Amino acid sequence: MKTDGVDVVIVGAGPSGLTLANILGLQQVRTLVVEERDTLIDYPRGVGLDDEALRTFQSIGLVDRVLPHTVPNQILRFFDAKRQLLAEMAPPDARFGWPKRNGFVQPMVDAELFGGLERFGHVEVRFGHQMRNFVETDDGVLVEFADGRDPVRARYVIGCDGGRSATRRLMGVSFDGTTSSTRWLVVDCANDPLGHPNSEVGADPVRPYVSISIAHGIRRFEFLIHADETDEQADDPAFVRRMLAQRVPHPERVDVIRHRVYTHHSRIAASFRKGRLMLAGDAAHLMPVWQGQGYNSGIRDAANLGWKLAAVINGHADDALLDTYDVERRKHARAMIDLSTTVGRVISPTNRRVAALRDRVIHAASVVPSLKRYILEMRFKPMPRYQQGAVYHGEPSSGNSPTGTLFIQPRVDTRDQQNVLLDDVLGAGFAVLCWSNNLRAVLGEAAFDRWKALGATFVAARPMTQLHWTGHDDPDVTVVGDRTGALKKWFDVNTDSVLFLRPDRCIAGACIAQRAPETSESLFDVLCLTQGGGHGATRPVLYVAQPTAESSGTVAGSP
């Protein structure tokens, strides 16, 4: 691919950048990823994937490649100093189509994201490319590199270059927050010396610890380093063995992949967008590890930003749509930072009296069924709910509109397929979905045609008893049968019956059937959608996991 001019330059080939590149690649956006390292990072870092991240990987056709590197339905138990169970997280439902908690090996998943780019001749990755500067103009950004490499002109630049982001620094954006005074020794081991599939946190005031099963026989241990212990001491192999001796009978036999000292940061960029420059992943926010949401938050950034960038670049939306990225992602990232910071404070006190008081409070709460479910099912995890941004709330028909939340993803039947995930029917772009109704008649011809011009998928959900009834058949509407009953249950609770779904499966607008035409009209304004189209104005194709001859391209600089 010629890169004297591209649509998007992504700085950083980490998970956020690679996911974003796959999203843009599927939408025919010319993309260049530049990474200052010579290869992908090959050691374990993040260890937990959530259901939203797996849903995003599904949307880019790579989930089947990612799943072999995961431990699904991972249980996390919290113990006190006496090894009494404080709390357990084993969320049972999979409302978004995937388990809520999954251990995973990040280098292997990142490699699958990188390999997915081989499908696209219009996406390139260059390793050993360090961005030095950029110059923003009225119609683009000139990206300059170190070592005299030729500059590249792009319409937009996205900084996915980590907590020490050069992009953020060059943007002049502050990174507000705190760095914890506590330090942790992180030890990754091959040939898991414990071997069981789940994970635990020891809230022991003598020395709090973490033990996490990842996948492929890898286990992570984390140990709090006391204030009187130096980083140099913690780096000593003898110190590492002493820590491991607290958890395994033969620490000298443990196959250590690596060990490092970490501090936990709670920081967020003052702005995620500045003109044609944007931030995602760790460049935009850092959070403690306690909820395993650092990696997942970066994937959420990519899912939120990717479709918006593609819509603007392909001529479907005005540039103002990109302002909603900061509006939507900032509040949720802040909530995740606060939750992770709070959990860390609960887990890691070394004062025995404070720890004993904590234990009594948690044990008391565990006998209350509603509080126990609250913890067990991870209901405390803040879910995205957008009050502002690329959503239209209008006049909800009930006091609890689902607008701004993620729609569920149950398994459904079509007339051609059985037991498929709903997103695989909805496709990669916008979708309009209704419950057991004539969607064209409900929308009206004008609104129907506008969404069709955008490449939207139209879906009419029905009870299974009506799946093969042909009374409302329309060549542009896909009929799905509510195989599990989850769709009817959702519509039983939410009286809005027509849903306008964004490509990231957030509900952009919802209404009763009679309000569909005016809700549609308002959404075109809120989403900054246009009638025209750019160089990629045809409907994008949702690629499957295996590249085809037509979509196969090259990824320059493969490690």
Query: Alpha-carbon Rg of the chain, whole angstroms?
Result: 24
Q: Is 281 annotated as a binding residue?
A: yes
Q: Is 25 annotated as a binding residue?
A: yes
Tell me, what amino acid is at 275? G
Q: Is 62 annotated as a binding residue?
A: no
SS3 232: helix
Q: Can you list the positions of beta strands (E) in 242-362?
A: 255-269, 273-274, 277-279, 285-286
Q: Is 166 annotated as a binding residue?
A: no
Q: Is 9 annotated as a binding residue?
A: yes
The answer to whether the CB of 533 falls within 8 A of the CB of 102 is no
Rounded Cα gap, residues 262 and 132, in angstroms: 28
Q: Is 29 annotated as a binding residue?
A: yes
Tell me, what amino acid is at 273? R
Please, which residues bridge with residue 6 across strands? 154
Task: Give which of 247, 254, 261, 185 is closest to 217, Cα–Cα.
Answer: 254
Task: Give which of 77, 299, 289 is closest to 184, Cα–Cα.
Answer: 289
The answer to whether the CB of 492 falls within 8 A of the CB of 436 is no
Q: Is 155 annotated as a binding residue?
A: no
Task: Give which of 86, 534, 45 is closest to 257, Cα–Cα.
Answer: 45
Q: Is 229 annotated as a binding residue?
A: no
Q: Is 444 annotated as a binding residue?
A: no
Kindly report the backbone phi and psi dihedral angles of residue 339, in degrees, each rounded to the nearest multiple of 5, phi listed first.
Answer: -65, -45
**Tokens for 307?**
């479709």
Q: Is 13 annotated as a binding residue?
A: yes
Give the DSSP H/E element, type plus range, for residue 275: none
Q: Is 133 annotated as a binding residue?
A: no
Neighbours of 92 (CB within 10 A): 10
Q: Is 431 annotated as a binding residue?
A: no
Q: Is 202 annotated as a binding residue?
A: no
The answer to whether the CB of 136 falls within 8 A of the CB of 276 is yes
Q: Is 19 annotated as a binding residue?
A: yes
Task: Give which of 87, 101, 5 is closest to 53, Cα–Cα.
Answer: 101
The answer to whether the CB of 358 falls within 8 A of the CB of 308 is no
Q: Is 30 annotated as a binding residue?
A: yes
Q: Is 277 annotated as a binding residue?
A: yes
Q: Is 263 annotated as a binding residue?
A: no
Q: Is 233 annotated as a binding residue?
A: no
Q: Is 274 annotated as a binding residue?
A: yes
Q: Is 15 annotated as a binding residue?
A: yes
Question: In which residue are the tokens 């967020």 written?
Answer: 268
DSSP tag of 197: S
Q: Is 8 annotated as a binding residue?
A: yes
Q: Is 24 annotated as a binding residue?
A: yes
Q: Is 28 annotated as a binding residue?
A: yes
Task: Give which of 273, 267, 340 is closest to 312, Cα–Cα.
Answer: 273
Q: Is 478 annotated as a binding residue?
A: no
Rounded Cα gap, residues 507 and 490, in angstroms: 13
The answer to whether the CB of 146 falls within 8 A of the CB of 160 is no
SS3 192: coil
Q: Is 26 annotated as a binding residue?
A: yes
Cα dihedral 107→109→112→114 (10° resolution) = -60
Q: Is 280 annotated as a binding residue?
A: yes
Q: Is 420 annotated as a binding residue?
A: no
Q: Is 276 annotated as a binding residue?
A: yes
Q: Is 275 annotated as a binding residue?
A: yes
Q: Is 21 annotated as a binding residue?
A: yes
State the binding site: 7-36, 272-282
Q: Return binding residues for FAD.
A: 7-36, 272-282
